[in-house]
Amino acid sequence: MGLALQSAMITRRISYFSLWLTLVALGTGCAQDGFDPSTDKRDPDQPKFQNTTPSLMAASPSRMSVGDTMTLIGDGFIPAQHGHTVLHFVGTFTDEDGVPHAVDYQVQASQINEGKLRWKFGPNVVFVPTGDKLGRFVGSVSVLNQMNDQSAANATLISDPLSIEVEVKPSLIAEAIYPVGAGCGNMVTKTLGEVPMGFTVRALGLREGTRAAPMTFRWTFDRSQWDIMEGNGTFDPFEKLPKEGSLVVEDVVESGTRSTVADGGERSFLVKAKQDILGQGTLNIKTKKPPEKSSGMPVSVAVSAVDGSGRSASLTLEIKVHDVVQAVWDNKVRIAERFEPEKVSDCIPGGPIGVDVSYTESTHFSRSRSVNLNWNVNAHVPVAPLGILAPHNTWATFGATVNFSLAFGVNVHEEVSTSESKSLAMTGHIHPGEYGAWYRQITRLARIAYLTGHTVCGETYDLGQAVMTDWLFTPDLAKGNSCPPQHQLQPAGVFDITD
């Protein structure tokens, strides 16, 4: 079994096969020479977390547009490692037409610390079923501390309600965030790099655009997150689009309250860099490829609208861009096998006065690090609907392109040798009348990265694991009254690496 794993190399597997390597929790950190992953100890007597009842003292602001953030101040909010906080709104929302709507709404909050929460109001006017009416909410908000372990005592505790009023100001709401031509739904929150995108927003509480009094939408794209290129239009061919900073795309709407900008198409837009007009024409809008070893790159588009009377609203649209296959190492180094300790030097007598010795070995050992890909047999879905941007329909094709050296933090193609190992740079002293001998123990280590697949429409799939084989060398200067002396190294064995 050891020889088979020693010769394992990175391979491309087009057919899926089941996961066979599991995990052991025997330490954290890098597998540097001399590191013993078995030293990880956990205190079994550590007291269990006890949930407490939170208190809520203030919430602001009282006037909000969709996309604004409410801050809530209190005490005793559950720490994020033990659970999450939920806001519970109860009351009445009276819309701009004077129609009352009963509200009983819960939403998870973002925790800043044990005394502060934040909630982003959205994705629309959540106090009314249609999500598209301005008005005023009058009622209360409470905070729920919910433990991850819902079977525990006091798993959910709720604060006393805090009376609040919230006026909903003119807003923009997102109606569509979508990869162009991919057949996805209207609202995509995750996608891939180098994907053509489109966006639609609608204004609430602003005057409809007309020919006499149009509504102007301004879409701002950060060039570090988006590839924006002009199509056919009046761009000066000698004027290049800036590679840094932001580009503003203007859409003048003469009918209605909606604006759509998208990759391709025949619509023409005015494009600016700051206040400088670059020209007018059709657009190509694509996500940039995320950096390597990222867990996804957050990107955003800021859009504002001004009606004919000068009233305005704004919104920031946010999505996350992933690689097709993402490898995340859990930062654990597991012991897969310990080999029998081997005596690598002759017996060394201490003589009449003792002797200082340095590690020496009569034979060297070297092995190459390697990565074995184990694909989840259930990951059958195509990488991209309709084959857009991806002619292949297997994850393995993309998995073979992952930079595992970045994922694992070491060069996975490097050879490891006892002749160059720093952990073997050891010295010792043999006392008079004793004998000494150098022993070496080889340990096979495993690092596991979990593979996640992402599609252009934002679905995620558990693809399996990438298992890296690494090697550790441990020396020991055995000493005794006879030759050969007995070493103090660990017994050999193959270990079940299941967490």
pLDDT in tens, 45-58: 456 888 999 999 99
Residues 6+ apart with CB under 8 A from 235: 271, 278, 279, 280, 281
Query: Can you tell me the distance from the alpha carbon of 286 to that of 401, in angstroms, rounded to the nearest whole number?
Result: 22
Q: Is-contact 231 321, C-beta < 8 A?
A: no
Query: Can you tell me the distance from the alpha carbon of 259 to that of 28, in angstroms, rounded to the nearest whole number?
Result: 51
CA terminus-to-terminus distance, the chain: 21
- Identify which of 3, 73, 9 has the alpha carbon closest to the alpha carbon of residue 373: 9
pLDDT in tens, 259-316: 999 998 778 888 887 777 777 778 889 999 988 777 789 999 999 999 999 999 999 9
Q: Is-contact 293 403, C-beta < 8 A?
A: yes
Mean pLDDT of 43-71: 87
Kindly state the tokens that stand for 56. 């809520």
The pLDDT of residue 172: 98
- Identify which of 31, 329, 317 has the alpha carbon closest to the alpha carbon of residue 199: 317
**Which CATH fold topology does 55-169 show?**
Immunoglobulin-like (2.60.40)
pLDDT in tens, 421-439: 766 778 999 999 999 999 9
Q: How many residues are recorded in the chain? A: 499
55-169 and 172-322 in the same fold: yes
Please report where in the chains the tokens 């004998």 appear, as a residue: 435
The pLDDT of residue 452: 85
Mean pLDDT in the chain? Answer: 82
Q: How confident is the model at residue 31 (pLDDT cuts 50, 70, 90)?
A: very low
- Identify which of 71, 307, 294 has the alpha carbon closest to the alpha carbon of residue 172: 307
- Residue 34: pLDDT above 50? no
pLDDT in tens, 137-156: 999 999 999 999 888 888 89
- Range 172-322 has CATH code 1.10.287: no
- Could you tell me how far CA 236 lies from the centroid of its own chain? 41
The pLDDT of residue 297: 93
Q: Is the N-terminal amide bond of 61 cis, ω within 30° of 0? A: yes
Q: Phi, psi at residue 139, to the nearest 5°?
A: 170, -135
Of the given ranges (63-67, 348-352, 388-392), which has the lowest mean pLDDT?
388-392
- Identify which of 453, 222, 203 has the alpha carbon closest to the alpha carbon of residue 319: 222
The pLDDT of residue 499: 64
Residues 6+ apart with CB under 8 A from 166: 62, 63, 64, 70, 127, 136, 137
Domain regions of the chain by residue span: 2-35+333-494, 55-169, 172-322
* H-helix or E-strand spanning residue 408: helix 404-408
- Identify which of 328, 456, 472 has the alpha carbon closest to the alpha carbon of residue 403: 328
Mean pLDDT of 466-480: 91
- Three-state DSSP at 190 gives strand
Relative to beta strand 171-179, strand 197-204 is antiparallel
The pLDDT of residue 444: 92
The pLDDT of residue 240: 55
- Residue 392: pLDDT above 80? no
- Three-state DSSP at 129 gives coil
pLDDT in tens, 341-387: 999 999 999 999 999 999 888 778 888 898 888 777 665 554 444 33
The pLDDT of residue 265: 77
Please report where in the chains the tokens 């055995």 appear, as a residue: 478
pLDDT in tens, 85-106: 999 999 999 999 999 999 999 9
Burial of 111 (0-12, 13-18, 19+ CB in 10 A): middle
- Three-state DSSP at 420 gives helix
Better-predicted residue by pLDDT, 373 or 34 = 373
C-alpha pair distances (Å), 443 with each of 94, 337, 370, 470, 476: 69, 6, 15, 9, 14
pLDDT in tens, 171-186: 999 999 999 988 888 9
Better-predicted residue by pLDDT, 79 or 426 = 79
Its pTM stands at 0.75
The pLDDT of residue 157: 94
Q: Phi, psi at residue 395, to the nearest 5°?
A: -70, -30
Q: Is-contact 457 184, C-beta < 8 A?
A: yes
The pLDDT of residue 94: 97
Question: Among the residues of 151-309, which ranges form H helices?
Answer: none
